[in-house]
Amino acid sequence: MKSKTTELRVRYSETDQMQYVHHSNYAKYFEIARIEWLREAGISYKEMEEQGIILPVVNLLTEFKKPAKYDDVLTIKTSIKQIPTAKIIFTYEIYNQKGELLTTGESTLVFVDMKKNRPMKCPENILDIILKQKD
């Protein structure tokens, strides 16, 4: 699937005493990049929720290779790992401004019908949009 990139600058509040990004912030970075991937593809979280569909995260993997530091400009490369079924899996690569790979990650989200509170298949309209994102 097509990759999308998102840039952000590390804020001081996201770092520890060593000025390294605290590990808890990577889940937020992945969420920012995932939302932007969907938005650029033409999929709105807000509209999904209005249609009674939510996407809770059920699995999150992060592998730290090098630390991100205060004031670094990070580029997050986001892709979908496979064609969604009842779940959608995003992959992430985070690079600093020097192009060094700092972190990789993966998140698995499940399509859930809010009224039934049960997993559901990826809606056809969303699947069609995602399939158009193939490289």
Cα 81 to Cα 12, 86, 94, 99: the distances in Å are 32, 14, 16, 22
**Paired residues of 78 in beta bridges:** 4, 92
Q: How far apart are the first and last CA of the chain?
A: 6
Q: What is the pTM of this model?
A: 0.93
Query: Are 90 and 78 within 8 A, CB to CB?
Result: yes
Cα 130 to Cα 16, 35, 87, 133, 134: the distances in Å are 37, 14, 13, 5, 7
Q: What is the pLDDT along the chain (135 residues), one digit of tens a residue?
A: 689 999 999 999 999 999 999 999 999 999 999 999 999 999 999 999 999 999 999 999 999 999 999 999 999 999 999 999 999 999 999 999 999 999 999 999 999 999 999 999 999 999 999 998 775
For the chain, what is the domain count? 1
Catalytic status, residue 135 = no
Strands across the sheet containing 53-54:
53-54, 112-113, 118-119
CATH number of the domain where residue 53 is located:
3.10.129.10
* Rounded Cα–Cα distance for residues 9 and 73 (Å): 4
Query: Are 94 and 9 within 8 A, CB to CB?
Result: no
pLDDT value at position 85? 96
Query: Are 27 and 92 within 8 A, CB to CB?
Result: no
* Rounded Cα–Cα distance for residues 101 and 110 (Å): 28
pLDDT value at position 132? 86
Range of the domain at 87: 4-132
DSSP annotation of 20: B
pLDDT value at position 1? 65
pLDDT value at position 36? 95
pLDDT value at position 135? 57
Task: Please choose, from the candidates 27, 43, 38, the residue with its C-alpha nearest in 3D space to the C-alpha of residue 94.
Answer: 27
